[in-house]
Amino acid sequence: MHLLLIRHGQSQNNYLEQDPDYLKGRLPDPPLTELGRQQASRLAEWAACDEFYRRITHLYTSLTTRAVQTAAPLAQTLGLSVHGLVQAYECGGLNSGPAGGFTPVLGRDHTSLQMECPVLQWPEELEGKAWDGGCEAWEDRRFKERAANVLTQLQAIASEADVITLITHQDFAQYLLAHVLGLPSRRGHALTFLFNNTATAHIELRANGKGSVHRIAHWINRTSHLNSDLITH
């Protein structure tokens, strides 16, 4: 299986991170900025012309607004539906942030998120319900467990030649990459891999015929679809 991880485009929170009042202005479930939408469009345009991206067989996304908005142009270009993956959200889940006492915040429902991405398929486990936002304590073991679950879910649906794409988040991608590459565990906020907005990471899991699997990192943090003035972190 080929796993293509994509970080969402620049969100309003990513933009605000340069502001000293960031923690006060932080939104629980921020939308993309105009620049973030441009990044997502560039990725879709790139995908239409790139041999590897045109092989994408499945599109999955976290149920945050910024991830679903990033999925929309890519899905349209590739003519694929987008499947919501409950556990692919950012570490910590949706909450009001430090200024709001980290109060849990509910996620959106299917109808509302379909306004961002009409081809969004709702996860069966949430049938008739909105996403609960996944608010969780900041504990390394939770993120590792979620990353392992997400990869198990994706591997269960994938055949060897499939290219499975998941739109996810900077911190959670660190756990996914560590798990899929078999790296030692990381702790806290330290980043192992730079993962810019709409950057991609391509990891291949290839059975070697002797009962084990080769893990091949083809690339991490690729932003070939963006001019340098569109690269943000």
Contacts with ligand 2PG by CB under 6 A lie at 7, 11, 13-14, 90, 169-171
Which residue has its beta carbon closest to ligand 2PG? Answer: 170
In the complex, what is the shortest distance from the CB of residue 17 to ligand 2PG, in angstroms, rounded to a whole number? 7
In the complex, what is the shortest distance from the CB of residue 33 to ligand 2PG, in angstroms, rounded to a whole number? 11
Residue closer to ligand 2PG (CB basis): 37 or 215: 37
**Which DSSP string do the residues of 33-54 spell out, in sequence order?**
-HHHHHHHHHHHHHHHH-TTGG
Report phi then psi at 148, rounded to 5: -65, -40
N residues, the chain: 233
CB 183 within 8 A of CB 177: yes
CB 204 within 8 A of CB 226: no
In the complex, what is the shortest distance from the CB of residue 11 to ligand 2PG, in angstroms, rounded to a whole number? 5
Residue closer to ligand 2PG (CB basis): 170 or 200: 170
In the complex, what is the shortest distance from the CB of residue 184 to ligand 2PG, in angstroms, rounded to a whole number? 21
Residue closer to ligand 2PG (CB basis): 14 or 165: 14
Q: Are strands 200-207 and 213-222 parallel, antiparallel or unpaired?
A: antiparallel
In the complex, what is the shortest distance from the CB of residue 147 to ligand 2PG, in angstroms, rounded to a whole number? 14
Type of residue found at 112: S
In the complex, what is the shortest distance from the CB of residue 142 to ligand 2PG, in angstroms, rounded to a whole number? 15
CB 116 within 8 A of CB 67: no
Q: Is the dihedral of CA 185, 186, 191, 195 positive or negative?
A: positive
Residue closer to ligand 2PG (CB basis): 2 or 169: 169
Q: Print burial letters for 110-127: b (CB count within 10 Å at least 16), e (below 16).
A: beebbebbeebebbeebe
| Distance between CA atoms of residues 40 and 163, nearest Å | 19
Residue closer to ligand 2PG (CB basis): 176 or 205: 176
Residue closer to ligand 2PG (CB basis): 11 or 61: 11
In the complex, what is the shortest distance from the CB of residue 30 to ligand 2PG, in angstroms, rounded to a whole number? 7
Residue closer to ligand 2PG (CB basis): 49 or 191: 191
CB 183 within 8 A of CB 171: no
What 3-state class would DSSP assign to 118? coil
